[in-house]
A and B are shown apart, each in its own frame.
Chain A
Amino acid sequence: MRLDQIFYTWSERSLLGGKGMGPVASSLPIDALSGWDPLLRERVWAGWQEHDRFGLGYLRGPDGHAVICKRPVTEAEGRQASLAHILVGHEINALQALSLHEWDGWLTSWDGTAELAPLSWEDLRHQADKGRHDLVRRARALPPATLAELVAFVLAAPEADVSVVAPPEAPAELLCALVEIMGATTTFSTMESRDDDRGCPHIVFLPEHHESRMGVARRRLRFGGDGGDPFATALAVSYRAEGRTAIDRLRPARPVASVDDSRAWAQKAQLSPGVLDDVAGLLRRAQALSAAELGALRSKHGLAEARRIVPTMDDGELAALLRATALPEEVTELVQGVALRSYLTGHAGERVLEGLAVRPPSAQLLREALKQDPSLRRVAALAGRVLPEPRARRALVDSVARTMSKAELIGWVHEHSAEEPEAARVALNVICDGRERSSEQRRRALDALIARGGLAEAAARLTGSPREATAYLQSVLSVVAGEKIDEGVMAAFLAHPRPSAQLLYALRALARDSRSLALVDRTAWTQFFVQAGLPTPLGARPVATQARAQPRSTEQARPGPSDDLPAPKAERILLVLLFMGVIALLAVVAVVATSGGPL
């Protein structure tokens, strides 16, 4: 968007030929300048004494819009004068104009040159965007009562021109808020010394001691009235809380241009006087709702809307709602349920969990939420935060853990024993509590247990002593791998690098036979030297009888392996040869019998 510049000040001869206040520099051709001049020349005077104050104006012109920045100046000989820098363009809207309030490109003096270069909106965009952002932030911080008074005044006669006299807040902020609330562009001036000419913009701001004559056909607002219009107050409060977004949802499509439009808007946009039909907005500022607003939330419509809206809220909004203290019980319960489900299903995060900790859900809600098949980790985290009673926490985790397969539980305990020790211990107990029913599940559980090193790490972490850990491991191994572990399974467990002593101890107790036992002992023997930083001695092997230690202190300790010694190698060879000879003899007999030979 091209922006042309015009600069007005006093001169002996302006670009248009007159003496006095007129255009002295411009990027516009003379014809276009002549078109703008009749409108601008009445708006370029800054008739106030405070030289540190400037006025920002926004006008609709013959060929687009104009943004005027004007200020009083003292000329070299001490004479009072005004100067004005003007940008004109086709598509400048009111908010864009306001966003230039702090623009540092406004000219504050004239260097005598008659030509100015045109600008483009792109040149200003960075500053304008920042200016608008800052302005909106300040506008949203306006006292709602002040803003409500202005909004009510405008809504009472939207078509009438308004002069705001001695506003208690900055005009740019008030205008920004008003434009955002009304949603329509409007001409304005943040500062005028008088408002008695017909070319005055729609909304102007005047100082307390202005110079207007009587009979001004404008409505003048002096703040400090009762400000009791509930609709305007609701709009102001909503704007402060949520900005224009909430009001955009409520505003009629057609601009509010008459008092009838105002009434229609107020009627349609309110659930009750002073309560906007914006349950989402009410929920978002649930911390500070009036009695009327709480009543509206409690209504049938309010609850129905809440049921629709709460599930769509993000974590921050849910957490804020959980922290709200005065919400109707039905709404609180709704929020808790949504928050629970959202958290347990992994959609919500820590903020919601913190909210749930502030406002713990009932047992009934918990039970309902558990139907969502939540992850044990989420349940564990939830239990740890929302249930102060240990027994209740463990029961909650237990109930979820029992819905999981042993394989899943083994994996979960292995991964989360450090961060959720209490829940992991519960899960460990659940693992120990009976075998899987199907062989497939048992196989998976065994694979999982082998893959996680028999849960040796977790058991060590979750128990108070090596003996207790060993007892747990024996229990887990016996449930998952069986009461007797054969050589193959044993080898699989022992394939884990550096198995712990507790695991070796437990495995040894469950060894099915002397070979399994020897395997464990050999591993322990090897590990003994390896851990001491020595190689395993050549030809050395443990003496089986020496390795037959039994767990002594744990109730769960099982009897040790059988006392069978491993067979000597030569005997084993002889036995094999004998077996093979018998087989060969039987084969010869069978061949002869079937062929009808001499025998």
Chain B
Amino acid sequence: MSAVLECPICLRWIDWDGTPPVVFGPDDRPEILRKDPREDDVAWRTRLQTAYRPCSGVGSPDSHYLPYDYADYKAVIIGVFGESRSGKSHLVAAMISRLCANDAALRRLGLTVEPLDLRTHQQYMSRTVEPFIRGRRRLDPTQPLPVVFTDALKVTNRDGDAFAVSFFDVAGEQLERSDPEVRFFGSVNALLFVIDPDSIPGLTQPAATAIGDSTFEEALKRLGGRPAPGRQFLHLPAALVVAKADLLRYSFDLVGEWMSRSGPAEETDLSTAEQESEDVYAFLVERRAEPWLRPAEKCYRSTLHFASATNVSATESTYGDGFGQRRVLKPLLALFAMAGVLDDEPMRRVEGGEDAT
């Protein structure tokens, strides 16, 4: 356990061991959790499971609250980038939904997923994931409000190594305009770039005139300030996802081909990640969408994907027949592999195999 930890939200250092645990009362105000002298250790540890540690003073408006055992695990902090209405929130919700399913495909990978911050996870599931996945409701736009974890999960791999995987999904407007409140650039160690096909001229919207995604540029600029071994690449793994790929399925055979391969086995098969990356890259280059590929060129390791969080377009506020999640897990698993949560051997093996051929 580290004695000192950096708050992933505001980047302040926390005296982890010296910070008292807090819990939240009915009005969500933090209260220091104190051990009852008559309480045995088991009961105390049980209570600590729902406790937090503040990064600043208890009750301070600047404080962020991290799960009490956050420092027990290696942090994987995923920053999600993309313009307003690019589909970030839908994609993240679909990813987390799939991840938390703990289905057979994930078990084959040796992954076990649990909530790390139970309260945040429950709120996220009840307010976002369940209405979206089960209720088929279109999610409301993300408000540019305080930057906090969207969700935090404890992911344990086959070797028993546990990771604190957290997601930052903030409003596109906030990413775009250099909002000083957005400081998680300093803490993220995995990047998820969401490419909106509606923005790329000639794909889905004839009138689209964008020349790139400004949030990508902003992210690369701010991440570029990090100390790194070399200035040429960002030493961060990145997954670039062409979201809403269902819109492209019938217009572009390549996309249709990948979208048709969307079963659980395919989604967890990282051996195809490289091929998919090449196809996506070529697809975008052919359509003069190089600006959207800047993260792939800038990051030391990256993968590219086609995915759809809904598989169909919404009719007013809901999704109808055909609603489903397609290839949403693979970009996340690719990030896990590049970040060390998963063994990245399958990806490397394919790379090697292709090289050999």
List A residues at the B interface (Cβ < 8 Å): 10, 18-22, 41-42, 45, 47, 74, 77-82, 193-194, 196-198, 211-217, 219-220, 222
Contacts and interface: CB of A to CB of B under 8 A. Distances in A.
B216 to A, nearest CB: 13
Given A10-B141, A198-B146, A217-B63, A18 B173 contact: yes
B120 interface: yes
B349 interface: no
Given A74-B316, A217-B61, A197 B145 contact: yes
Nearest to B86: A19
Nearest to B179: A38
A70 to B, nearest CB: 11
A197 B84 contact: no
A74 B141 CA distance: 12
Interface string B310-331: 0000111100000000000000
Contact of A222 (B27, B63, B83): B27
A74 B317 contact: yes
Contacts of B203: none
Name the 7 nearest CB pairs between A and B, nearest first: A78-B316, A20-B84, A20-B173, A217-B61, A220-B27, A45-B143, A197-B146
A21 to B, nearest CB: 6
Contacts of B120: 213-214
B141 A214 contact: no
17 contacts: A10-B85, A18-B173, A19-B83, A41-B144, A45-B143, A45-B144, A74-B317, A78-B317, A80-B140, A82-B141, A197-B145, A198-B62, A214-B28, A215-B52, A217-B61, A219-B27, A220-B27
A interface SS class: loop
Contacts of A19: 83-85, 172-173, 176, 214
Question: Which range contains the number of B residues in contact with the other chain?
Answer: 35 or more
Contacts of B300: none
Interface string B18-46: 00000010011110000000000000000
A22 B65 contact: no
A215 B61 CA distance: 8
A215 B173 contact: no
B100 interface: no
Contacts, number: 103
A215 B138 contact: no
Contacts of B143: 45, 47, 193-194
Contact of B61 (A45, A198, A222): A198
Most-contacted residue by chain B among A79, A81, A198 (CB, 10 A): A79
Contact of A213 (B83, B123, B316): B123
A214 B24 contact: yes
B29 A216 contact: yes
B222 interface: no
Contacts of B138: 78-80
B65 A214 contact: yes
B54 interface: yes
B27 A18 contact: no
A305 to B, nearest CB: 42
Nearest to B117: A214
Given A20-B172, A21-B84, A215-B28, A42 B145 contact: yes
Nearest to B84: A20
B84 A42 contact: no
A338 B28 CA distance: 58
Contacts of A21: 84, 141, 144, 171, 173
A213 B171 contact: no
A213 B123 CA distance: 8
A213 B128 CA distance: 14
